[in-house]
């Protein structure tokens, strides 16, 4: 053969690679668009508060307020983003928030269990439902959109049936004294007053913890590489030896667990469980993940971006409240934000990451 390895030389195409500046390298990250969105949302509401002479949004009290709102979405959003990167959806996560709260309520008030045990029981039961979601998706090979839409109806219906048997309303009150005396309830409802009616809530710490853990798992562990691989192409990942089914089931479990964490925070803060809690949060979570640069088709995304997406959602929701604008505008704002973010993310990805 005339052709040998010596002729391999420089590859065709290699000369097309450009050296990128620092700015370009930052913009090539999946979270770049979300960062721009967050800055933009903050500037808009800061400008509105300055114009209206009401500085609540800029002050520490307002900041802590929207951080708490962002934290609640962000706790779920982080897990949902990882699941989406692995190529799956969980529409049932909102119903799991309601379910997890109800399990705590029933454990404490009906079965007379200690609160901490009810919380643990709720977390285990909810996580198992997540495992079940995952097993159904993996075994049937149906789109998770359909499977979790079905489980959304089933779980929320089941929670309603349970509570109506117990209390005849959608709501189970939990004794404040029991919460106050419980050894672990403080992990979920602790807050630090910073004066002026503002408080730093423990939900923010949970959000940070989960987001940091999520970033670490996605970026620095084998499992994280498998998440992106499973979402990129499940068949190819399987051929390379990635346990795709295990990865997906674990992430459905993680998503359900995040729902139980949020449910516990809410029921320990409001001293009650309510089946209506968490309703709609599945769409908020997907929105934060998408604003954060995660692709609906899987295989690409960012936990840090999702955290920024949750932050922009929290800012918009509370910013509208502080600015004394009709709250209906919130949905219009979020819808617009989502559209702008997707267009921006696509443009940035095409322009700077070359994809």
Q: Which residues bind other proteins (CB under 8 A)?
A: 1, 3-5, 7-14, 17, 19-20, 216, 220-222, 224-226, 228-229, 232-233, 235-242, 295, 299-300, 353-355
Please say which residue, 130 or 224, places its beta carbon nearer to other proteins.
Answer: 224
Q: Which is nearer to other proteins, 250 or 267 (CB)?
A: 250
Residue closer to other proteins (CB basis): 116 or 223:
223
For the beta carbon of residue 176, count every other beta carbon within 10 angstroms.
10
Tell me how far, at minimum, the Cβ of 255 lies from other proteins, in Å: 21
The alpha carbon of 301 is separated from its chain's Cα centroid by a whole number of angstroms, namely 13
CA–CA distance from 240 to each of 118, 127, 218, 235, 249 (Å)? Answer: 42, 29, 18, 9, 19
Q: Which two tokens stand for residue 346?
A: 């696509």
Helix and strand tally (H, E) in the chain? 15, 4
Cβ proximity to other proteins: between 191 and 346 the closer is 346
Please say which residue, 45 or 89, places its beta carbon nearer to other proteins.
Answer: 89
Rg (CA), the chain: 22
CB of 232 to other proteins, least distance (A): 3
Cα distances (angstroms) measured from residue 204 to each of 75, 99, 115, 185? 9, 23, 22, 16
Residue 235 beta carbon to other proteins: minimum distance, rounded to whole angstroms: 5
CA distance 291 to 92: 20
Instruction: Tell me the closest approach of the beta carbon of residue 271 to other proteins, in angstroms.
Output: 35
In the complex, the smallest distance separating the C-beta of residue 305 from other proteins, rounded to whole angstroms, is 14
CB of 86 vs other proteins, minimal distance in Å? 12
Shortest distance in whole angstroms from residue 76 CB to other proteins:
24
Nearer to other proteins, 164 or 297 (CB): 297
How many Cβ atoms sit within 10 Å of the Cβ of residue 169?
A: 11
| CA–CA distance, 312 with 306 (Å, rounded to integer) | 10
Question: Of 92 and 250, which has the nearer Cβ to other proteins?
Answer: 250
Q: Quick check: 111 and 321 in contact, CB under 8 A? A: no
User: What is the chain's length?
Assistant: 355
Q: Are 305 and 292 in contact (CB under 8 A)?
A: yes
Minimum Å distance from CB 119 to other proteins?
23
Q: By C-beta, is 220 or 331 nearer to other proteins?
A: 220
Task: Please count the CA atoms within 13 angstroms of the CA of 232 that sit on its side-chain side.
Answer: 14
Query: Residue with structure tokens 């404040």?
Result: 176
């Amino acid at each position: 053969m005339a052709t040998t390895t010596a002729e391999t030389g420089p590859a065709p195409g290699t000369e097309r690679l450009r050296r990128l500046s620092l700015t370009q390298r930052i913009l090539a990250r999946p979270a770049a668009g979300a960062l721009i969105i967050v800055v933009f949302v903050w500037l808009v509401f800061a400008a509105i508060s300055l114009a209206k002479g009401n500085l609540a949004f800029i002050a520490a009290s307002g900041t802590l307020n929207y951080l708490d709102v962002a934290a609640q979405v962000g706790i779920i959003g982080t897990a949902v983003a990882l699941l989406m990167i692995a190529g799956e959806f969980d529409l049932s996560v909102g119903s799991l928030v309601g379910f997890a709260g109800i399990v705590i309520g029933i454990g404490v008030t009906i079965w007379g269990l200690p609160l901490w045990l009810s919380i643990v029981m709720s977390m285990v039961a909810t996580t198992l439902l997540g495992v079940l979601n995952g097993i159904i998706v993996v075994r049937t090979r149906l789109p998770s959109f359909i499977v979790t839409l079905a489980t959304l109806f089933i779980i929320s219906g089941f929670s309603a049936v349970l509570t109506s048997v117990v209390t005849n309303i959608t709501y189970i009150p939990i004794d404040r004294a029991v919460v106050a005396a419980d050894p672990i309830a403080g992990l979920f409802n602790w807050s630090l007053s910073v004066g002026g009616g503002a408080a730093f809530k423990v939900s923010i710490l949970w959000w940070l913890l989960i987001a940091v853990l999520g970033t670490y798992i996605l970026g620095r562990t084998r499992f994280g590489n498998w998440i992106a691989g499973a979402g990129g192409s499940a068949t190819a990942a399987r051929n390379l030896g990635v346990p795709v089914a295990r990865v997906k089931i674990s992430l459905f479990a993680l998503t359900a667990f995040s729902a139980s964490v949020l449910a516990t925070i809410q029921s320990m803060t409001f001293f009650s469980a309510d089946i209506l809690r968490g309703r709609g949060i599945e769409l908020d979570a997907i929105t934060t993940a998408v604003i954060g640069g995660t692709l609906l088709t899987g295989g690409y995304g960012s936990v840090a971006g999702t955290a920024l997406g949750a932050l922009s959602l929290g800012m918009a929701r509370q910013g509208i409240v502080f600015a004394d604008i009709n709250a209906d505008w919130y949905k219009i704002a979020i819808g617009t934000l989502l559209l702008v973010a997707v267009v921006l993310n696509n443009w940035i990805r095409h322009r700077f990451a070359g994809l």
